[in-house]
Amino acid sequence: MVRMLQAINAHERSQLLRRQDSTPIAEPPSRVGPTFKLLMGEREHRLYPLYADSIDYIESEGNYVTIHVGAAKYLSRDSIKRLAGELAANGFIRIQRSLLLNIRSISYVEAVGRGTFAFTLCSGACLQSSASYRDAIFRALPMRRIPSRRQPA
């Protein structure tokens, strides 16, 4: 995987050197800056570079993770725990023990039960959080906390 990334970087550098004029090649603003992150995913025995801002969510499956980008699924040998720390700066939050969600791909959020939420993504996927990750969700998203409705004593 490291060799693949080195090859991609070498190719980009060679493209810059081949340009005759001095105008810089602009990258999309979402891929510029310190939060730029590239992951590698496998599908149909091919490796694909996946930009973190294009990923909808990541799901754990044993020793592997499935990376969901729209309707496409990519496999990678990684862990949710490691990816959660690495992708936190890119807007990823953990909503379940086995789910990592890109907050930029959320279409809307609905409260489902006591501390659980249903996230509907722009791709149409619907993911449900667990109550144990409620505080992390409130820290990451600007939602107001709904006070508990206790009966007066």
Q: What pLDDT shows up at residue 46? A: 94
- With vertex at residue 112, the alpha carbon angle to CA 53 and CA 150, rounded to the nearest 5 degrees, is 130
CA atoms in the 13 A half-sphere facing the CB of 113: 6
Q: Is the pTM of this model over 0.85?
A: no
Read off the pLDDT of residues 107-116 as tens digits, 9 standing for 90 and up: 999 988 888 9
